[in-house]
Chain A
C-alpha cells in the first residue's frame, strides 16, 4: 500500500519568505509526527498530532513554526519569515494508533534550502 507522502520533495526559498510543507500519512493512521533533520545529524522531533489534536509541540524551535492537521489526515508544516538556519530536511511520520509501542513510518522528507 501507499506509504507516507511528502511534497514538495525540494523547496528553495529566499530568506524572509513563508513556506508550507505537506504530509499525507498512511491512510487510517491516527498519529502523525514532524521531524527536522540538519545535515549530518539524526532527525529531531518537532511536533505530534493524534487525529486533529496537536498533543505535543515541544520541539518547535520558534513561534515562526506552525503545524496543523485540521481533518485528522493531511498535515501542513508552515514556517514564517524563513531564516537560513531553517535549511534542513523536514520529515513526516505516521503510526497506526495513539500509543507509544507502534512503529513510526516515515516519508522521504522535504529538503528545504533558504537562500
Chain B
C-alpha cells in the first residue's frame, strides 16, 4: 500500500470547518483513500473512503485531487467531541480477500472551545 504523510497536529476552533490534509503521492490506480479517527481509549472509527470522486456522508467530506496524489478530510462544523487522532490510509482494492490496514502516526486534531 502507498505511504501517506500527514501533519502531526492541528488546532481548529469549535464551530469552524476542520480541514485535514494528507499526501499520498505514490498512490496507484486501484488504491482507495480511507479515513479513520481514534478518540482516546477507544478503537478507531471509520469515517469515509473514496477512490477518485469526492465523497460526503453524515460525518465528513472527502476531497481527492484530480491527480489523486493528495486528499483533504473536511469536518464541516467541528465540535469538542471531534478531538481525536485522524488517520489517512491508502488501501489496495482486491477481490478474494481483504488486507489489514496500515496506520501511520496520523494527525492529532485538537478542537479549541
Check if A101 sits within 8 Å of B49, measured CB to CB.
Answer: yes
Residue of A nearest to B31 (CB): A100
Q: Which residues of A contact B (CB under 8 A)?
A: 4, 31, 33, 35, 41-46, 48, 50, 55-56, 59, 91, 93, 95, 97-109
Q: Report the separation of the CA atoms of residues A97 and B91 in the bound assembly, to the nearest whole angstrom.
A: 16
Q: Which residues of B contact A (CB under 8 A)?
A: 32, 34, 41-46, 49, 85, 87, 91-106
From B34, B95, B100, A48 is in contact (CB under 8 Å) with B100
Q: Report the separation of the CA atoms of residues A56 and B102 in the bound assembly, to the nearest whole angstrom.
A: 14
Q: List 5 A-B contacts (CB under 8 A).
A: A42-B106, A98-B98, A99-B96, A104-B101, A106-B45
Check if B44 sits within 8 Å of A98, measured CB to CB.
Answer: no
Q: Report the separation of the CA atoms of residues A44 and B102 in the bound assembly, to the nearest whole angstrom.
A: 7
